[in-house]
Amino acid sequence: MIIAIDGTLASGKGTIARRLASWYGLPHMDTGRLYRATGVAALHKQVDFSDAAALAEVARCLDLNDYSEEELRTGEAGQAASKVAAIPEVRAALLELQRAFAHQPKGAVLDGRDIGTVVCPEADVKLWVDATVKVRATRRWKELTAKGETLSLDEMIAQVQERDDRDRARKDAPMVAAADSVLIDTSDLTIDAAVDKARAAVEAVLAQKSESSEP
């Protein structure tokens, strides 16, 4: 079973993906981590972010073990990820890696921004996780300020809106909900409630597929 979970920044899709993967005993890939690592690697190597070929080479040679989770969760890493994710050559370099992960014998859970539309359009279950810009910005702001980063909530709201606009406007694999995805709005939900809603959505889709396959 392949579960594709897409959504906006700080919507809760990563936590939902990890919980569902644990519940169903499936491997999990946070595809955003690939782009964050590519962005951080490019910064470390001082690669010009307008050099698509050089950035694609960084993506092809990526070793996720080179970077700590803390390093990949900074505001700078997030901004770099959004920039490299808009480059078709980078997305192409990482696409087959994601598809190979998804098509393991048992399947997998993948979360990102184009899993249900580009990476795994054939996924058994597709979820779209979202929340209002203010709610998402507040979550991200609390996360970053707790780590010592200094920025105002208004600055964070502007950054989140800019990230949304960039992700939706890119020509290659723009961030958009798959037509057959189930919406999970986490604006007013606790994480446990959001996970419960997501699991119920998965069960409903599986039940529907089971009924349609019966003679």
Arithmetic mean of pLDDT over the chain: 94
3-class SS letters over the chain: CEEEEEECCCCCHHHHHHHHHHHHCCCEEEHHHHHHHHHHHHHHCCCCCCCHHHHHHHHHCCCHHHCCHHHHCCHHHHHHHHHHHCCHHHHHHHHHHHHHHHCCCCCEEEEECCHHHHHCCCCCEEEEEECCHHHHHHHHHHHHHHCCCCCCHHHHHHHHHHHHHHHHHCCCCCCCCCCCCEEEECCCCCHHHHHHHHHHHHHHHHHHHHHHHCC
Residue 19 has pLDDT above 80, yes or no: yes
Q: How large a percentage of the chain has pLDDT more than 70?
A: 100
Whole-number pLDDT of residue 209: 81
Whole-number pLDDT of residue 11: 97
pTM confidence score: 0.89
The arithmetic mean of pLDDT across residues 138-145, rounded, is: 95
pLDDT tens-digit map of 166-205: 989 988 889 999 999 999 999 999 999 999 999 999 999 8
CATH number of the domain encompassing residue 122 = 3.40.50.300
- Model confidence at 212, pLDDT cuts 50, 70, 90, reads confident
Whole-number pLDDT of residue 140: 94
* Structural domains in the chain (count): 1
Range of the structural domain that residue 171 is part of:
2-213
Q: How large a percentage of the chain has pLDDT more than 90?
A: 84
Residue 215 has pLDDT above 80, yes or no: no
The arithmetic mean of pLDDT across residues 140-145, rounded, is: 94
The arithmetic mean of pLDDT across residues 62-73, rounded, is: 90
pLDDT tens-digit map of 88-102: 999 999 998 999 999
